[in-house]
Structure 1
Amino acid sequence: MSSTVASHEPLPPLTAGGAAPAEPVKRPRLHVLDGLRLLAAIGVLCWHWLGVERFPGVWHGSPAELMPLGHLIGAYSWTGVQLFFLISGFVICMSCWGRSIGDFVTSRLVRLYPAYWVAVLVTSAVLTVVPTMWGDDTHHPTPTRVLTNLTMFNMPLGVGNIDPVYWSLWAEMRFYVLFGLLLIRGLTYRRVVAFCGIWAFLATVSPSVNLPILETMVQSTYAWYFIAGIAMYLMYRFEPNAVLWALVGYCWLMAQDRMRGVIGGYEYGTRHHLSWYLTLAYVTAAFLLVLGAALGRFDRIRWKWLTVAGSLTYPLYLLHQEIGFQAITRVSRHLPPYPTFFVVLALMMVGAYLVHRLVEVPMAPWLKRKLESAFAQIRRNGETG
């Protein structure tokens, strides 16, 4: 949810040991990825607001009855998360090429934490004064739960998320750890391809070997989107070849297989059957959209407003569920369902913009300077110690 899309300068040649079949070429900024990130965020938002039937109190009735078309779209738009993970694999590989592990850690901390801290605190404040839609005390914020959530490592500690949407951040974090290990020696074409192949193999066998630590790290359900995103970036940076096409194809095949175990959880939310074929169509569309960007099919899309839209994606994702539920409950008393949806969406976009402008923009440079100074000090002390 947190990837950024970097502008492109002429790309440097590979380091020794990473010969590629073609030299990197200059590419335009991929504005379309900013737009796809926003599309993914709105997809997840539609799932929570329109697709979920578990909380009839949100709309004071059933979304399926109040908004049949909206519910049909929302019931499958949870696949926006899969689109997020595809984009993340693509963008993280793109933004890390030629950078050190310290640069990578700095960029991820600066990107992830400022907006997240604010979202945790604001959501906690809201849920402290209003009842949650979950109908039990386990989702109510307590001081220790809030403080543990601020680490972003609350899930492995067994502490529930203040807002359930944060679950995907733990999936992203594990991807960053794996990719960070690769960065220790530096990225080369061959190393990245080997990394994708090894990760794919481990994710394939993980469900059958009963090693919890292995499953935790390789994420056999979601690995396929990160790996495919990386392979698509290699197509973009260099050129497609049979190995990269095979990687993407294998990831798509494994993704459709793992959906069998995922759909049931979402059916619990919709309270009705979900079509495997429609779900596969959504996931396939996500693959094709990112692949189209990698192959230059969307290079003509250079709308500058997409950059602004992309900057709102992360805070919108962080804020939309619990706070959005509370807003819908109140606005829907005065407006019909569809106007309520768009009014609350506009309010959430304004909230996302405020978090971006008032928190991310001023805090990111300050945090980046502090972290770069710290890593520089660590390197100096390491050389003398």
Structure 2
Amino acid sequence: MIDAPAAAEIPVHPAPLRQNRLRALDGLRLVAALMVAAYHYGGRDGEVADAWGSSPSLQFPTLHGWFAYGCLGVQVFFVISGFVICISGWGRTLTSFFASRAARLLPAYWAAVVLVTVVFALPVVAYRAVSPSDALVNLTMLQQPLGADRVLGVCWTLWAEIRFYALFALCVVLPGATRRRIILFCAAWTLAAALAQAAREPLLDLVLMPEYAPFFVGGVGLYLVHRDRRDAYAWGVVAVSWLLGQHHAVARLWHAPDVDAFSYRGSLGIILVVTCGFAAVAVIALGWLRWADRRWLTVAGALTYPFYLVHEHLGWVVIEALHQGLGLPSAATALLTVAAMLLLARLFNRYVEEWATPLLRRALSSRPR
């Protein structure tokens, strides 16, 4: 039996929940970004081995196995994104939602694409730059589906974010966000993603993202928990998302122990990291970290996105200069590289985002006369 709609479900655009900024969530963002940086600098082979002059497993003989789990910082990001996008989309029109997302992502992204392209084109830099045509395509954020070379290695995650934004905008923001509609969205996407996995249809995989959907949906469910911790449906969304999320993470990232492999991620380790990611957002959603409400966490949150964009490829350049050029030890090189990327992120935030973000938001929100 279906209950009659509650009064709170009737408005098309009900008022969003008024709340103070969740600064602990900003801190968790930076933790997730540092996890990914640890993976890129010491948790895998590839171009970063050229920067070090040898495999990171030789540079960090004890830590490289732990650093390999850092790639799961992306899944933590997706949980946070589900939480934050629910805040951003609740009570907003489609135009306002699009303007807020575009203004948040594009200025730092454009600056990062230009900077990395220019640096990689310098004769003293040993890494291959993408073609001018592909570099221009990268400015659209659509290089992934078009098959163009990526300027930023991490931009594949932005492609997943964009598809999540589109689904949320069409299914929730456009008709108007309500608790019931959001729960229906979570349930429908979860089921559709499972069916897409079974169908093995590339188009369905592209749209529904079966391996990442549980993390976005879990974050949305945790925002509903934040609004009402007694909401059994929201807790159900979170529980199912965690169960599916750990399954997809293990299926994607686990491999059998192999002496020739760079590192070994055990299934229990993967499950633990995924569980900690969900639990950390849950603790914040429940308000148990209000005691950690510090202003510097807002600064940390502001640095996270530009740091995430620039740390990988420009980090290779800094690592090579410090380790092979100046002969600094591996640990000192890694720490100084992270510090340099955080400083660069601060410059991005100060001289790109702080003026370009509000400017772009106003331009996209204004109505033509």
1:42 corresponding residue in structure 2:
34
**How does the TM-score come out when normalised to structure 1?**
0.87
2:126 corresponding residue in structure 1:
131
In the alignment, residue 80 of structure 2 is paired with which amino acid?
I
Matches of 1:295 and 1:17, distance apart in 2: 26
Q: Residues 267 and 370 from structure 1, CA distance in 2 versus in 1: closer, same or farther, beyond 3 angstroms?
A: farther
RMSD: 2.3
Matches of 2:263 and 2:17, distance apart in 1: 49
1:9 corresponding residue in structure 2:
none
2:46 counterpart of 1:57: no
Matches of 1:321 and 1:225, distance apart in 2: 23
2:86 corresponding residue in structure 1:
93
In the alignment, residue 252 of structure 2 is paired with which amino acid?
V
Matches of 2:341 and 2:17, distance apart in 1: 39
1:258-300 Cα offsets, whole Å, 9 max, x none, are 1233115999996233211111111110010001111111121
Matches of 1:296 and 1:352, distance apart in 2: 29
CA contact (8 A) 1:54 1:270 kept: no
1:198 corresponding residue in structure 2:
188
Task: Map 1:173-212; keep pairs closer than 5 Å.
Answer: 173-181=162-170, 182-212=172-202
2:143 corresponding residue in structure 1:
154
CA contact (8 A) 1:28 1:299 kept: no
The gaps in structure 1 that reach 5 residues or longer are 1-12, 133-138, 381-385
In the alignment, residue 25 of structure 2 is paired with which amino acid?
L
2:218 counterpart (204, 216, 228)? 228
Q: Residues 179 and 24 from structure 1, CA distance in 2 versus in 1: closer, same or farther, beyond 3 angstroms?
A: closer
Give the 3-state SS of the residue equivalent to 1:335 in structure 2.
coil
Q: Residues 32 and 79 from structure 1, CA distance in 2 versus in 1: closer, same or farther, beyond 3 angstroms?
A: same
In the alignment, residue 115 of structure 2 is paired with which amino acid?
V
Give the 3-state SS of the residue equivalent to 1:34 in structure 2.
helix
CA contact (8 A) 1:203 1:219 kept: yes
In the alignment, residue 218 of structure 1 is paired with which amino acid?
L
1:287 corresponding residue in structure 2:
278
**How does the TM-score come out when normalised to structure 2?**
0.91
Matches of 2:144 and 2:269, distance apart in 1: 31
The farther-off stretch of 287-296 and 267-276 is 267-276
The farther-off stretch of 46-55 and 85-94 is 46-55
Matches of 1:62 and 1:44, distance apart in 2: 18
In the alignment, residue 126 of structure 2 is paired with which amino acid?
P
Q: Residues 270 and 309 from structure 1, CA distance in 2 versus in 1: closer, same or farther, beyond 3 angstroms?
A: farther
Task: Map 1:256-295; keep pairs closer than 5 Å.
Answer: 256-263=246-253, 271-295=262-286
Q: Residues 197 and 51 from structure 1, CA distance in 2 versus in 1: closer, same or farther, beyond 3 angstroms?
A: same
The alignment of Structure 1 onto Structure 2 pairs a total of residues equal to: 356
The gaps in structure 2 that reach 5 residues or longer are 1-6
1:253 corresponding residue in structure 2:
243
CA contact (8 A) 2:224 2:231 kept: no
CA contact (8 A) 1:17 1:190 kept: no
2:157 counterpart (144, 159, 168)? 168
CA contact (8 A) 1:37 1:313 kept: yes
In the alignment, residue 229 of structure 1 is paired with which amino acid?
G
1:46-86 Cα offsets, whole Å, 9 max, x none, are 00001012342221223222223431321101111011000
The farther-off stretch of 293-302 and 305-314 is 293-302
In the alignment, residue 223 of structure 2 is paired with which amino acid?
Y
